[in-house]
Structure 1
Amino acid sequence: MSKSRAALKFVVLLGFVSLCADATYEGARSISGAYLAVLGASGTVVGLTAGFGELIGYSLRLVTGYLSDRTRQYWRITTLGYVINTIVVPLMALAGRWEVLAGLMIAERTGKAIRTPPRDVLLSYAAIRVGKGFGFGLHEAMDQIGAVLGPLLVTAVLALQEGYPAGFAILVIPAVLGLVVLLISQWIYPNPREFEPTTQDLHGEGLPRRFWIYLMAVALIAAGFIDFPLIAFHLQQIGLNQPTQIPLLYALAMGVDAIAALAFGYWFDRIGIATLIIAIVFSLGFAPLVFLGGPTSAMIGMVLWGIGMGAQESILKVVVAGMVPPERRGSAYGIFNTGYGIAWFLGSALMGGLYDRSIALLIMFSVLLQLIAIPFLIWIKRISIEHR
């Protein structure tokens, strides 16, 4: 088997692992907030649990990225993270108190923080062989299939009136399946570093200047991209209060996300970072459509939102793989994910306040920050041309 075919097989295997993991924890996230309320938690507790979990989930990536580079134990750290990330989800079925459930929710986010930077390094080795955009795009598409299937699986259990514990318990199936495929992948491909061609001209002890410029652009994009909980809150305020309407809109966006990830990944391999600029231009329209129109306008807006998410969750990481040496890539992904997460958190907090004050200001803030990111991306494109 040629190295390119083996690398593609490796990308598919990792994509399947992510599909199972997303089905597991996204399925849990679709009901964990409601179950906290059933167990007696207040709205403040729900907000703090979700916020603290995300804070841990992003800030810890800085540490695990550094450790993975220092130890070169990419597989072991990835496996540890996936075990924590997925196994704690079925245990939520046994949580009889909200304190226990909240702790398990934070543990799940911790597991994701542990495995993400080293997993992205492993993926980058193979993606560079098959096409960085295509490799990361295919992985993201499979990832999002899981993000749709998990909540649908839980919804089916709840439709049978089996209750929230049964909804968590059923997720043991994708959790175990994903871990089995992960171990098989590690056995077949113990050293994915061999996939990456040695012709990449990436040198230097530290991270290059263009990485930090790029991180500034990414932070602007993240801070200006409105999170779905605020969108869901607004949709409920304007009358989309049927139990299935808002989740179905989210499922629509996740489906678009998967398709967009593949499409933008394909085009990235042909026109480079200009693909990300095009994605921003497409997604700029989601905020006015969602927050100023009715249900039909909101549906179109969510399609554009899904396009933006698909680009963010696939080709944003591709750029890092192309500008950072392999031996520094774990640290780079750790810094990248942490910066992205902090910017997303701060932007979301500010936009929540803007929503209470003025929807027009919220839309202006979202659109303006994403527009400001474009000159930074053009700058990166020019620097990249100079480095050829």
Structure 2
Amino acid sequence: MSAARAPLRPWGFVVAFGTVSLLADFVYEGARSVTGPLLGSLGASAAVIGAVTGAGDAAALGLRLVSGPLADRTRRFWTLTIAGYLLTVVSVPPLGVVGTLWAACVLVVAERVGKAVRSPAKDTLLSHATAATGRGRGFAVAQALDQTGALIGPLTVAGVLAATGGDYAPALLALAAPGAAMLAVLLWLRARVPNPAAYEPVRPEPEPELTADGTAGAGPHRTRGTAPGVPLPRAFWLYAAFTGVTTCGLATFGVLSFHLVHNALLPVAAVPVLYAGVMLADALSALATGWAYDRFGSRALVTLPLLTAAVPALAFTDNVAVAVGGAVAWGAALGVQESTLLATVADLVPAARRATAYGVFAGVTGAATLVGGALTGALYGYSIRALIITVAATQAAALVLLAVARRSGRMAAC
């Protein structure tokens, strides 16, 4: 099937999938905007908040080591996408009513597990359409729509918190409605475009044929390097190493928001408003770096370590304006991480191995996120100066790795 005969044009698919992400982010980013203060109200310390939110993000990324290869092996991209979104939206509303720290921690991690289940499959589906729209621009537009929901959700939570005197229960229960709408749009899109691989200008290679002894053979049309058993390219591993090192220095918003509330820089009800602004910075950063990636290639990724190094130096001060600026820098770094980094993976890895690559890439990033969350929480309580120096050192190392990766094979052309 050609893209011209597909039920939706490539940009239509990107926008529709972006709408799904918009509604999903309405739900889970609305909750994540108050995760730090919510856990703190249940008795959690900064170290516990850093560990739990870091573990949640690590689960969202690390478990893709399983869901990515599973998607490539079963080719059930839509099934995994729908199941993951479903798990996320049913984990959020109960957060405001469980009343105990351990139960809230379980729900925080469960919501992130849903992201792990769906993300490699979802990114692969989206990558097919972005092959026709431009990788950077396609992923950037999807991320911008995604972050529109991340803007609306925290503002909604902030409004309900303000109206109810800081009661988390109604604020989080209100997120059930956009969750239901998201599932409806996702099922509609699945019915309209059952096979997004048709958008690829070059049709993905067929599965390997079985020989007489039951082993996988090359097949008459197999292109070397696209079979599921073929190792991922060296350029991909160098790129994943760069991403892991730079992610080790990126704090979680849970720790940032804890600092703001614990030091009386912002009231609890203002934290979701700030988070909405952070998500706007995320969207604008995604659009800017996505355009820059399509125009200038992987040189655009230099911005990520620079932004990451700036975050702790700004965010963990006692000046409200500077700390808010640090949170905005965190959002800009996240925008690069969640859009342009994914576009680069699609350019480095053949279509038949793409979900696996996304899973492995997320696993590396997840391990780095766990280290970063725990490290940030621990160093925050020990010495903010040591935290700033440590993050600066990791980002210098990341820039070196990026330079090495850019000189290798396929990434040199990206």
TM-score by length of 1: 0.89
Describe the superposition over 1:325-375 as per-residue Cα deviations: whole angstroms up to 9, x where unpaired: 111111111111111011111122223332333222211111221121122
Q: What amino acid is the match of 2:92?
A: V
> Aligned with 2:164: secondary structure?
coil
CA contact (8 A) 1:226 1:366 kept: no
Per-residue deviation at 1:108? Answer: 2.1
Cα deviations by residue, 1:265-306 (Å, 9 ceiling, x for unpaired): 011101111011134335533332333572222233333322
Task: Compare 302-311 and 65-74 and name the one that shifted more.
Answer: 302-311
Deviation at residue 81 of structure 1 after TM alignment: 1.0
Change (3 A) 1:11 1:53: same
Following the alignment from structure 2 to structure 1, what is the Cα–Cα distance between the partners of residues 86 and 33?
20
Q: What is the number of residues matched between the two proteins?
A: 387
Which amino acid is the alignment partner of residue 29 of structure 2?
E
Distance of 1:202 and 1:129 partners within structure 2: 23
Q: Which residue of 1 aligns with 2:339?
A: 314
In 2, distance between residues paired with 1:107 and 1:217?
28
Match of 2:130, SS state, is helix
- Alpha-carbon distance change, 177 to 202 in structure 1, aligned in 2, over 3 angstroms: farther
Higher helix share: 1
Change (3 A) 1:361 1:178: same
Say whether residues 1:70 and 2:81 are aligned partners: no
Matched, 1:6 2:9: yes
Q: Deviations over 1:117-172 (max 9, x none)?
A: 11011111111210101111111111111112112212222333284332232212
Q: Does 1:188 align with 2:192?
A: yes
Provide the identity percentage: 37
- Is 2:159 the counterpart of 1:156? yes
Structure-to-structure mapping, 1:151-300, within 5 angstroms = 151-161=154-164, 163-198=167-202, 203-204=225-226, 205-236=230-261, 238-292=263-317, 294-300=319-325
- Counterpart residue number, 2:120: 117
Stretch of structure 1 that moved more, 280-289 or 9-18: 280-289
SS at match of 1:313: helix
2:50–2:374 contact (8 Å) kept in structure 1:
no
Report Cα offsets for 1:23-42 as digits up to 9, x if no partner.
1112233445656677x666
State the 1:94 CA deviation: 6.3
Q: For the residues of structure 2 that align with 1:100 and 1:237, how far apart are their CA atoms?
A: 23
Once the two structures are overlaid, the 10-residue window that deviates more, 226-235 or 57-66, is 226-235
Q: Structure 1's 60 and 257: CA in aligned 2 closer, same or farther, altered over 3 A?
A: same
- Matched with 2:150 is 147
2:393 is equivalent to residue 368 of structure 1: yes
Residues 93-102 or 346-355, more deviating: 93-102
Distance in 1 separating the partners of 2:184 and 2:77: 17
Distance 1:51 1:188, change over 3 A: same
Looking at structure 2, the residues matched to 346 and 97 of structure 1 have their Cα atoms a distance apart, in angstroms, of 26
Instruction: Please tell me the residue identity of whatever aligns with 1:180.
Output: A
String of CA shifts for 1:207-265, please: whole Å, max 9, x gaps. Answer: 00111111110011100122223333333455404334444333222211111101110
1:138 corresponds to which letter in structure 2? V
Greater shift after overlay, 94-103 or 265-274? 94-103
**What letter is aligned with 2:225?**
H
> What's the TM-score once normalised by structure 2's chain length?
0.84
229-238 or 63-72: bigger deviation: 229-238
After superposition, residues 299-378 of structure 1 pair within 5 angstroms as 299-378=324-403
| Alpha-carbon separation, structure 2, partners of 1:385 and 1:111 | 31
